[in-house]
Chains A and B, each alone.
Chain A
Amino acid sequence: MKHAITLRIGPATFRIGSAWRQPIADLARLYAAYPDMGGAIADFTVRLQPTSLARRWVRPSIFITGDHGLADAAPMSLAHGLLAAEMGMNLQMALGWRRHLLLHASSVEKDGRVLVMTGESGSGKSTLAALLGERGWRFMGDEFALLDMDSGAILPFPRLVSLKNRAIEVVTQAVGDARMGPLLAATAKGDIRHMVPRTDAVARMGDGGMPALLLFPRFGHDAAVRPLGQGEIFMRLTQASTNYVALGEAAFTALTRFVAHVPARAIDFPTGDDAIAMVDRLWEELA
């Protein structure tokens, strides 16, 4: 394709091609601290292409595809090209990655041990991981935690952190404007702005750690901590995994071991500060 970049995030290498310059220029700026993979053979290809020939110029409209694609993916405006590239990379991982059990979760590390946070979009897991990454934890990822099925370790996938709506201001205040991407206004998920992880998170993106605590955060409720039965935890994690079924018995063994050994709690919180205090307390008590 006319414009292209090759990026490595954690163990995965992506070649992203685009019919337009801007999405690739945005990626080059925001992923500047990541390893230069020019010329490498990529695990996945992502293509941002016009929905039709005319749509390259007139009201440009992006269709996201690649090695793995969704036939009915809604086209996106060129103004949201960076988001399209990020979604394209997520899509390749979700549909194609087989080397680890993929959990739709954020993760941060301290003293070699990992806190995993899983929840729906809007649960606050990305924001929490981003804020913890500025407060003494190493940010490992906001979208996918990779569970190594042999060792049981969690490996990082520290792509840009995707922040939505109210989280944008909270995190921008914490990290400063220089580490933020362009504001993508009025996407299908509201306003979105990407945050660049700290350089130590990028430099150590090959280093995993053993999971020590699993949290199910839920933003926008009165503060509360609830224990969960292991059956519910297992069920929620299979729902949060895009490749559990594809990986067969190895995934069953790895996930049951995770559930049996990692303490877990559901936490509700009204603000980010409340959540961080709860995380610190639970980490002290349980991890």
Chain B
Amino acid sequence: MPDLDGVTAYRRDEADAVATCVLDDLTLLYHHRSGQTHMVISPVPEILERMADGAPVTVQAMHDRLARDYDLGPVDDAVVEIGVHLDALVALGLVRPA
């Protein structure tokens, strides 16, 4: 497990690519590198979509990107929650520290 203390930005690498399948109540991600299938629900697919360009993104910047399309509620709470999701995605190997 990577040490996530002090991680300020995240990015997706080509090596982290997944095949995606949207079923009616969740999204499946097949992770080529590990051969694992992940079952995820909102907001994970939305976060990954907004990292498709491979550029580093901070938690705050991810919040701002998501806030363009969704009502996320109080900023501080939403930023914390998005940070938790990003760290979980790093732990799964789907996202890496920038």
Q: Which residues of A are at the interface with B, using a C-beta cutoff of 8 A?
A: 229-232, 234-235, 238, 245, 248-249, 252-253, 256, 259-260
28 A-B contact pairs sorted by A residue (CB < 8 Å) = A229-B23, A229-B24, A229-B26, A230-B24, A230-B25, A230-B26, A231-B23, A231-B26, A231-B39, A234-B23, A234-B39, A245-B35, A248-B35, A249-B19, A249-B30, A249-B32, A249-B35, A252-B19, A252-B21, A252-B30, A252-B37, A253-B19, A256-B21, A256-B23, A256-B28, A259-B23, A260-B21, A260-B23
Q: Give the distance in Å from the alpha carbon of A238 to the alpha carbon of B30 in the complex.
A: 13
**B98 CB, nearest partner CB in chain A, Å:** 27
State whether B24 touches A238 (Cβ < 8 A): no
Q: Within B6-29, which residues are at the interface with A (CB < 8 Å)? A: 19, 21, 23-26, 28
Note all chain B residues with C-beta closer than 8 A to A245: 35
State whether A231 touches B35 (Cβ < 8 A): no
Total number of B residues with any Cβ neighbor in A under 8 Å: 12
Q: Give the distance in Å from the alpha carbon of A231 to the alpha carbon of B42 in the complex.
A: 14
**B26 CB, nearest partner CB in chain A, Å:** 4
Note all chain B residues with C-beta closer than 8 A to A229: 23-26
> Which residue of chain A is the closest to B35 with respect to CB atoms?
A248
Most A CB within 10 A of own CB, among B21, B30, B32: B21
> Which residue of chain A is the closest to B39 with respect to CB atoms?
A231
> Which residue of chain A is the closest to B41 with respect to CB atoms?
A231
Note all chain B residues with C-beta closer than 8 A to A234: 23, 28, 39
Note all chain A residues with C-beta closer than 8 A to B26: 229-231
Note all chain B residues with C-beta closer than 8 A to A256: 21, 23, 28
Q: Give the distance in Å from the alpha carbon of A77 to the alpha carbon of B2 in the complex.
A: 52
State whether B39 touches A235 (Cβ < 8 A): yes
**B75 CB, nearest partner CB in chain A, Å:** 31
Q: Give the distance in Å from the alpha carbon of A87 to the alpha carbon of B1 in the complex.
A: 40
Note all chain A residues with C-beta closer than 8 A to B28: 234, 252, 256
Encoded as 1 (CB less than 8 Å from any A CB) or 0, chain B from 25 to 56 comes to 11010101001010100000000000000000
- Known A256-B23, A256-B28; 20 more pairs at CB < 8 Å: A229-B25, A229-B26, A230-B25, A231-B24, A231-B26, A231-B39, A234-B23, A235-B39, A238-B37, A248-B35, A249-B32, A249-B35, A252-B19, A252-B21, A252-B28, A252-B37, A253-B19, A256-B21, A259-B23, A260-B23
**A144 CB, nearest partner CB in chain B, Å:** 21
Q: Give the distance in Å from the alpha carbon of A252 to the alpha carbon of B35 in the complex.
A: 10
Given A249-B32, A252-B19, do A231 and B37 touch, yes or no (CB 8 Å)? no
Note all chain B residues with C-beta closer than 8 A to A248: 35
Note all chain A residues with C-beta closer than 8 A to B19: 249, 252-253
> Which residue of chain A is the closest to B29 with respect to CB atoms?
A252
> Which residue of chain B is the closest to A260 with respect to CB atoms?
B23
> Which residue of chain B is the closest to A232 with respect to CB atoms?
B25
The 5 closest A-B pairs by CB, nearest first: A230-B23, A231-B26, A256-B21, A252-B30, A229-B25
Q: Give the distance in Å from the alpha carbon of A230 to the alpha carbon of B26 in the complex.
A: 8
Note all chain A residues with C-beta closer than 8 A to B30: 249, 252
Note all chain A residues with C-beta closer than 8 A to B32: 249
**B18 CB, nearest partner CB in chain A, Å:** 10
Q: Give the distance in Å from the alpha carbon of A37 to the alpha carbon of B25 in the complex.
A: 47
Note all chain A residues with C-beta closer than 8 A to B21: 252, 256, 260
Q: Give the distance in Å from the alpha carbon of A151 to the alpha carbon of B49 in the complex.
A: 30
**B59 CB, nearest partner CB in chain A, Å:** 28
Note all chain B residues with C-beta closer than 8 A to A238: 37
Q: Give the distance in Å from the alpha carbon of A235 to the alpha carbon of B25 in the complex.
A: 12
Q: Give the distance in Å from the alpha carbon of A230 to the alpha carbon of B83 in the complex.
A: 29
